[in-house]
Amino acid sequence: MPRVNPEILRWARETAGLEPEEAAHKIGLRAARGATALERLAALEAGEGEPTRPLLVRMAKQYRRSLLTFYLPVPPARGDRGEDFRTLPIDHSDTDEALLDALIRDVRARQSLVRAVLEDEEGATPLSFVGSMAQTAGAAALAESIRETLVVSLREFRAAPSTSEAFNLLRSKAEDAGIFVLLIGNLGSHHTAISLETFRGFAVADRLAPFVIINDQDSRAAWSFTLLHELAHIWLGQTGVSGGSTPGRGIERFCNDVAGEFLLPTAELGTLDLPRTSVLGPLAAAIDDFASERNISRSMVAYKLLRQDRISLATWSQLSNYFREEWLANREHRRELNRTTAGGPSFYTVRRHRLGFGLIRLVRRMLSAGELTTAKAGKVLGVRAKQVQSVIDVSATTNRAY
């Protein structure tokens, strides 16, 4: 076996989003021969020594890389994100970028497996809506095309009993159309959560297996908007990652307008009577009532008001921060309640919800037909092979009730 390029060791750790101290602990390094664990890792990354195979195996697991990666002559190119549509803040975290790269590598691998399965399936046909429209058609026309393809009306969406159920409706319609919609906001633990400034959504505009990934670190009320934003990218035939802390420019603004027009037609926004005051509280309350009646997020209403020049950029920023801080406080309160009370959904129920019915339905069908091994099914679902049947069984009993 050839020697390991020490540059690969450093690159694998950094792209896994791990600082040296954390990495040394995760891969089980110990102090030895007068050197601390941190010093030993630094020496290996400097080429002063060769890692043992057991250590490489642990690195492969903790850095989320295949073992063969460590024997490449040079670090591989950055994961294929497609286009980068984001507008990032100046103080953007390199660690979040590394986590995002790891997430996109995982999504790309799973999407490739799904595509290969569908290619081999008799009767599989390309989805005509992928790349079917251009920006010149306008946001309203693209929103209408999405609505017609998904066969869903605004009345149905608003009739849902909650923002969560409204999203579930929209998601199930997208899955019925052949789009796989997953909720992923970390790499398996809250320690690897990816900020919304780094990533809100990711679209793979593939004509056989289009994927939409939604960062579930966001509020549930915002998921519908993000889903529609990413669907707009798919209709435009654009694979890429979305996010950022500003209203967006160019194509991102257009996709925001598509999502906004779908959920809240511009003409209807005129019915929102804003209080004539500079005090944030009454303005936020008016937007809250308006959004709640329509199963949409308050931030989306504020964004549309900004686009219609009914509020200033400064007011929009204040409202966004206000809504975000309030949501974070409520989320922490709910988590505290969950910690002090028994119950809650099982691991498999949560996993199924994040994966979506469409992906699990495909895996179940392909397993039954012998077209997919349990090991590959586990890779597609992002679980261990021995957990595959439990995920599928939970889905069978709960059907589409996300």
Average pLDDT (351-359) is 94
- pLDDT for the residue numbered 2: 59
Establish if 386 belongs to a structural domain. yes
pLDDT of residue 128: 97
Helix boundaries (H) for 16-93: 20-26, 37-45, 53-62
Q: How far apart are the first and last CA of the chain?
A: 48
Position with higher pLDDT, 98 vs 115:
115
Domain assignment present for 354:
yes
pLDDT digits (tens, 9 = 90+) for 244-290: 766 666 899 999 999 999 999 999 999 999 998 878 999 999 999 99
pLDDT digits (tens, 9 = 90+) for 109-141: 899 999 999 988 877 889 999 999 999 999 999
Looking at the predicted structure, is the pLDDT value of residue 402 above 80?
A: no
Range from 88-92, 191-195, 313-317 carrying the lowest mean pLDDT: 88-92
Q: What is the DSSP string of 153-201?
A: -HHHHHHSSSHHHHHHHHHHHHHHTT-EEEE--SSSSGGG---TTT-SE
CATH number at residue 62: 1.10.260.40
Spell out the SS3 assignment of 45-57. HCCCCCCCHHHHH
Q: How many domains does the chain have?
A: 2
pLDDT, residue 401, reads: 42
Round to whole Å and give the CA distance between 131 and 235: 5
Question: Does residue 170 fall inside a structural domain?
Answer: no
For residue 166, the model assigns a pLDDT of 97
In a domain, 125, yes or no: no
pLDDT digits (tens, 9 = 90+) for 31-46: 988 999 999 999 999 9
Give the confidence band of 331 by pLDDT, cuts at 50, 70, 90: confident
Helix, coil or strand: residue 381 = helix
- Boundaries of domain holding 381: 347-398
- At 399 the pLDDT is 43
Residue 89, domain member (yes or no): no
Residue 158 or residue 188, greater confidence: 158
Rounded Cα distance between 196 and 334, Å, is 20
- Residue 267, burial from CB neighbour count under 10 angstroms (0-12, 13-18, 19+): exposed
334 or 284: which leads in pLDDT:
284
Q: Is residue 67 part of a domain?
A: yes
Give the domain-ending residue among 71, 88, 114: 71
pLDDT confidence of residue 357: 94
Question: Which of 31-45, 157-171, 208-222, 385-399 shows the lowest mean pLDDT across its residues?
Answer: 385-399
Measured CA distances, 46 to 5, 11, 59, 68, 361 (Å): 9, 12, 16, 20, 48
**Mean predicted confidence (pLDDT) in 203-224:** 95
Whole-structure pTM value: 0.81
Evaluate whether residue 63 is within a structural domain. yes
- Give yes or no for residue 309 having a pLDDT over 90: yes
Please tell me the distance from the alpha carbon of residue 178 to that of residue 400, in angstroms, as a whole number: 15
Number of H helices, E strands in the chain: 18, 5
Percent of the chain with pLDDT over 90: 60
At residue 86, the 3 state secondary structure works out as coil
Q: What is the pLDDT of residue 52?
A: 92
Q: Report which listed range, 46-60, 157-171, 194-208, is most confident.
A: 157-171
The domain boundary residue, chosen from 71, 86, 113: 71
Q: Which two tokens stand for residue 146?
A: 């999405």
User: What is the pLDDT of the chain when averaged over all its residues?
Assistant: 88
Where among 31, 54, 71 does a domain terminate? 71
Q: Does any domain span residue 367?
A: yes
Among the residue ranges 22-36, 104-118, 217-231, 235-249, the one predicted with the least confidence is 235-249
Tell me the pLDDT band of 78, cut-offs 50, 70 and 90: low
